[in-house]
Amino acid sequence: MNDQLALPVGITLDRFIMRNEADFPFATGELSQLLRDIALAGKIVNRDINRGGLSDISGQFGSQNIQGEHQLKLDVIANIRFIRALKNGGEVCAIISEEDTELIPTGNNKAKYIVAIDPLDGSSNIDANVSVGTIFSIYRRVTPTGTVPTIGDALQKGDMQVAAGYILYGSSTMLVYTTGRGVNGFTYDYSLGEFFLSHPQIRTAPVGNIYSCNEGNMDDFPVAVQQYLHKCREQRLIGRYIGSLVGDFHRNLLKGGVYLYPATLKNPEGKLRLMYECFPLAYIVEQAGGAACDGKRRILDIMPDSMHQRAPLYIGSAKMVEDIYSLHFTHAS
């Protein structure tokens, strides 16, 4: 018999989640089910993306979201998919979405968890067949179970996340997540319809040789960032920028590097969303040995004051983020 035919298939996402339930003494399976619900919605969105050109669901939807950005059809579809899966799963009392203006109660008031989600990050790249992703955070509610959830349940510091992750829809589809005990990545097997553990205990390099930012905005960046980018070029680091946050972050997480989205003259508060992009990715990168700051402070220390708050973001290999922070500190003093 060919030895290749006898190779084990591997650990499925469901089995991995079940094996690790004991890490959460306060949970009785709800968090595990919630992660399964997110994975299921991700499979459906993955199918929608792959069929986009055939199903006439690419292109603009005809309206703008709360961020003032034109919504694409797949933005709307992905938002519906995840909200429906989370409501039907029964483990979430409320959702905040990058695509919606207000807190979304699910009617499951006895549920313990709140989810913050960017259903389809980087969707402007879909028509060019560039990788896009879903980013999510999970929090324990602060109001008593059984009561109607409030916006205060959602507006928690990033340090309060109990889980965070992303799904990357690309040449292969991956789900990467953490529950505060390391970062694990699962690759989707289309033939079996399952996510399998492919990247156990991901660790990012302390220093990488990749920097990722839109250098077209260089003249609008803070002086500290301009100096850092000049230093990167002097050291002959590799510039890599897709313009799809999940894709850029995922590459740098695996290979080592730093992603920069500074404040600019046009966007002095930054452009990335604190709740839907900065918090979950910062939680993931710290669990993998990296770091994330806004130039002044650690991202996970920020107390949000609104659902759609924005922030600058420097995230990736710890030493590279520390160098950016030091330059900001030097110029501020």
Round the average pLDDT of the chain to a whole number and report it. Answer: 90
Query: Does the annotation flag 159 for ligand binding?
Result: no
Q: Does 205 map to a domain?
A: no
Q: Does 19 map to a domain?
A: yes
pLDDT at 52: 62
**Is 210 strand, coil or helix?**
strand
Query: Is 183 in the same domain as 295?
Result: no
Q: Does 1 map to a domain?
A: no
Query: Is 182 in the same domain as 227?
Result: no
Query: Does the annotation flag 260 for ligand binding?
Result: yes
Query: Would you state the torsion angle of the CA atoms of residues 27, 28, 29, 32, taken in this order, to the nearest 10 degrees?
Result: 10
pLDDT at 70 over 60: no
Is residue 244 within 8 Å of 252, Cβ to Cβ? no
Instruction: Encode pLDDT of 10-24 as tens digits.
Output: 899 999 998 887 766
Q: Which helix (H) or strand (E) holds 327?
A: helix 318-332
Query: Does the annotation flag 122 for ligand binding?
Result: yes
Query: Does the annotation flag 326 for ligand binding?
Result: no
Query: Is 27 in the same domain as 133?
Result: yes
Give the chain's domain count: 2
pLDDT at 5: 47
Query: Is 130 in the same domain as 53?
Result: yes
The span from the CA of 34 to the CA of 138, in Å, is 9
Locate 267 and state its tokens: 């966007």
Query: Is 225 in the same domain as 113?
Result: no
Query: Does the annotation flag 30 for ligand binding?
Result: no
**In sequence order, which residues have a C-beta less than 8 Å from that of residue 69 and are 6 or more positions away?**
none
Q: Does 2 map to a domain?
A: no
Say which CATH number the domain at 272 has: 3.40.190.80
The span from the CA of 282 to the CA of 303, in Å, is 14
pLDDT band at 71 (very low <50, low <70, confident <90, very high): low
Q: Does 68 map to a domain?
A: yes
- From 240, 254, 247, select the one nearest 204 (Cα to Cα): 254
Instruction: Encode pLDDT of 193-210 as tens digits.
Output: 999 999 999 999 999 999
How many degrees, rounded to 5, is the angle at CA 66 between CA 62 and CA 67? 95
Locate 200 and state its tokens: 């156990």
| Region 168-195 average pLDDT | 95
User: What number of residues does the chain have?
Assistant: 333
pLDDT at 256: 98
Model confidence, pTM: 0.92
| Region 196-225 average pLDDT | 96
Lowest-confidence segment of 67-76, 178-187, 231-240 by average pLDDT = 67-76
Query: Does the annotation flag 271 for ligand binding?
Result: yes
User: Which residues partner with 119 through β-bridges?
Assistant: none
How many degrees, rounded to 5, is the angle at CA 166 between CA 164 and CA 170? 170
Spell out the SS3 assignment of 62-92: EEECCCCCEEEHHHHHHHHHHHHHHHHHCCE
**In sequence order, which residues have a C-beta less than 8 Å from that of residue 88 and are 6 or more positions away?**
37
Lowest-confidence segment of 27-41, 95-109, 191-205, 257-271 by average pLDDT = 27-41
Query: Is 147 in the same domain as 13?
Result: yes
pLDDT at 63 over 80: no
Angle between helices 245-255 and 279-287 (to 10 degrees): 10
- Identify residue 63 by its one-letter amino acid code: S
Query: Is 85 in the same domain as 40?
Result: yes
Locate 227 and state its tokens: 């100096």
Query: Is 14 in the same domain as 151?
Result: yes
Query: Does the annotation flag 74 for ligand binding?
Result: no
Q: Does 315 map to a domain?
A: yes
Q: Does 184 map to a domain?
A: yes
User: Which residues partner with 168 through β-bridges?
Assistant: 133, 174
pLDDT band at 125 (very low <50, low <70, confident <90, very high): confident
pLDDT at 22: 72
Burial of 191 (0-12, 13-18, 19+ CB in 10 A): exposed
Among residues 199, 232, 253, the one where a domain terminates is: 199
Query: Is 177 in the same domain as 221?
Result: no
The span from the CA of 189 to the CA of 250, in Å, is 19
Q: Does 188 map to a domain?
A: yes
Q: Are strands 258-261 and 210-212 parallel, antiparallel or unpaired?
A: parallel
Query: Does the annotation flag 153 for ligand binding?
Result: no
Query: Is 141 in the same domain as 273?
Result: no
How many degrees, rounded to 5, is the angle at CA 196 between CA 193 and CA 198? 140
- Identify residue 11 by its one-letter amino acid code: I
Query: Does the annotation flag 123 for ligand binding?
Result: yes
Query: Does the annotation flag 261 for ligand binding?
Result: yes
Among residues 143, 175, 199, the one where a domain terminates is: 199
Among residues 199, 226, 249, the one where a domain terminates is: 199
Say which CATH number the domain at 96 has: 3.30.540.10
Query: Is 189 in the same domain as 272?
Result: no
Query: Is 190 in the same domain as 253?
Result: no
The domain of 247 spans: 210-332
Query: Does the annotation flag 88 for ligand binding?
Result: no
Query: Does the annotation flag 98 for ligand binding?
Result: yes
